[in-house]
Chain A
Amino acid sequence: LAKTTQPISMDSYEGQEVNITCSHNNIATNDYITWYQQFPSQGPRFIIQGYKTKVTNEVASLFIPADRKSSTLSLPRVSLSDTAVYYCLVGDHDNYGQNFVFGPGTRLSVLP
Chain B
Amino acid sequence: DAGVTQSPTHLIKTRGQQVTLRCSPISGHKSVSWYQQVLGQGPQFIFQYYEKEERGRGNFPDRFSARQFPNYSSELNVNALLLGDSALYLCASSLGGSYYNSPLHFGNGTRLTVT
Contacts and interface: CB of A to CB of B under 8 A. Distances in A.
Chain A contact-residue range equals 20 to 34
B105 to A, nearest CB: 7
Contacts of A42: 108-109
A109 B61 CA distance: 36
B103 A34 contact: yes
A86 to B, nearest CB: 11
10 contacts: A41-B109, A44-B43, A44-B90, A94-B56, A96-B48, A97-B95, A97-B102, A99-B48, A100-B43, A102-B35
Interface in B21-72: 31, 33, 35, 41-45, 48, 50-51, 55-56, 58
Contacts of A98: 31, 33, 48, 94, 100-102, 104
Contacts of B43: 44, 100, 102
Interface string A32-75: 10101000011111100100000000000000000000000000
A46 B104 contact: yes
Given A43-B106, A97-B50, A101-B45, A49 B101 contact: yes
